[in-house]
Amino acid sequence: MSETKKRTAGKSFLFKLMESTGTQGISLVVGILLARLLSPSDYGVLSLLMVFVSISRVFVQSGLNTALIQRLKVDETDLSSVFYVSLGVSGVCYAILYATAPLLAATYGQPELTALMRVLALILFPGALHSVQQAVIAREMAFHKLMVASIAANVLSGAVGIAMAYAGFGSWALIAQQLSGQVIICVILLVTVHWRPRLLYAWHRVKSLLSFGWKLLASSLIETVYNNLRTLVIGKLYDSEQVGYFNRGRQFPELLMNNVNGSIQSVMLPMFAAEQENPQRLKAMMRRTIMVSSYLVFPMMAGLALVARPLVSLLLTDKWLPAVPFLWICCADFAFYPVHTSNLQAINAMGRSDVFLRLELIKKAYGLVILAASILFFDSVIIIAAGSVVSTLIGTFVNAAPNKRLLGYRYGEQVRDLAPSLGMTLVMGICVWIAGFLPLHDLPLLLAQGAVGVLVYGGLSLLIKPEAYRGMVDMIRALRRR
């Protein structure tokens, strides 16, 4: 990779990381305050509703957002056409959710879900605009604009949610937070991105984008339904309180994973796409992405799992301690996401959405078998949740398989690229686990374990100097020279 492209990627990554760190940090603080004010059942209700809204969001984006980023050249007609299609799909999805809300409420025995769903589903309309705005930002590598808008939207929507929760609005506080956040970010980006929908539309342009995007739509739909299936099952077989514990346990590891891995992947798709005609260069970029993201994500997931109990007790109070086992499970589940997403982004960048779809069908087929077995043979919400870890480990090999042929990136090479970070994480984990036996209260114990983890992992990095560490140092030096 040339020095110019390294600086571009590094600068974009840092802005995306700052955006993710800022928004996720604010979301964490807001979430802690809301968790103290609201009950697990309130969060469970929102989680159930978000399953159906998330599925509708997939249709709204229709795979066209990624198609706009992946395509080498797009113009105003492409952008406006995608916006109008997304807006129309939003209207159809909202009408379906509005009409079926009473059925959902009856299915889960909670009449209040009807009104909550009809209001929350309004989030689809600003989402149609935001999907195109994100594509414009990614193509221009203008992630600093998204950083400002996201942080502002999280602060303002968080204030709305906290104020309503304090006033006793319960689940409505969470609905208002979600809806206001989406509206605010769209309004800010309308000012900063300088893109507006125009009275331009060309069906043949949309059709061309859909030739790539429909496979991503199908893949995203399968992925979204599958990822939320455990929430639906837990809500139906148990209750909304268990759903609240499950999703609260997922929040912390998902926050960390999205902060680092999500930042890297958002930047890498347009960078990968620019090299789609040069397999060797694309492979080199992909290798560095896997090494850097796993170097950051592995120790975060291990460390979070090891400090889970004092962390939850200190931040959320003891009423949320039943979420700790779910947090352990989700840490194991998310740890290998950098490998998944790097392999899949490379496939997307090469325009092979057919391969992407085939992989999703394979993974979900055995994933459903694992889920069905956990329901039929074990009457345990923990076992149902733990099945996702088994699916993720198998999926690591499934996602990597096509790139053996497309890029010549074999299993052995991927394992070697992961080995240094995984080895250092194991050593760090043992040290943090031992530190957990110190006779301290929650806060000093949390600080002691955190300090041990940082010192051990940082010391090993300085001693071994793995390629991921050297790459990050080089990137920072290049930016400083810039």
Q: What is the mean pLDDT of residues 327-341?
A: 87
Give the pLDDT of residue 255: 78
| pLDDT reading at 414 higher than 60 | yes
Query: Between 113-120 and 40-61, two packed helices, what is the crossing angle to 10 degrees?
Result: 40
| pLDDT reading at 163 higher than 90 | yes
Give the pLDDT of residue 71: 73
| pLDDT reading at 434 higher than 90 | yes
Query: Which 3-state string (H, E, C) describes the chain?
Result: CCHHHHHHHHHHHHHHHHHHHHHHHHHHHHHHHHHHHCCHHHHHHHHHHHHHHHHHHHHHHCCHHHHHHHCCCCCHHHHHHHHHHHHHHHHHHHHHHHHHHHHHHHHCCCCCHHHHHHHHHHHHHHHHHHHHHHHHHHHHCCHHHHHHHHHHHHHHHHHHHHHHHHCCCCHHHHHHHHHHHHHHHHHHHHHHCCCCCCCCCCHHHHHHHHHHHHHHHHHHHHHHHHHHHHHHHHHHHCCHHHHHHHHHHHHHHHHHHHHHHHHHHHHHHHHHHHCCCCHHHHHHHHHHHHHHHHHHHHHHHHHHHHCHHHHHHHHHCHHHHHHHHHHHHHHHHHCCHHHHHHHHHHHHHCCCHHHHHHHHHHHHHHHHHHHHHHHHHCCCHHHHHHHHHHHHHHHHHHHHHHHHHHCCCCHHHHHHHHHHHHHHHHHHHHHHHHHCCCCCCHHHHHHHHHHHHHHHHHHHHHHHCCHHHHHHHHHHHHHHHC
Give the pLDDT of residue 177: 93
Q: How confident is the model at residue 265 (pLDDT cuts 50, 70, 90)?
A: low
Give the pLDDT of residue 15: 58
pLDDT tens digits, 103-135:
988 888 888 899 999 999 999 999 888 888 888
Give the pLDDT of residue 12: 56
| pLDDT reading at 444 higher than 60 | yes
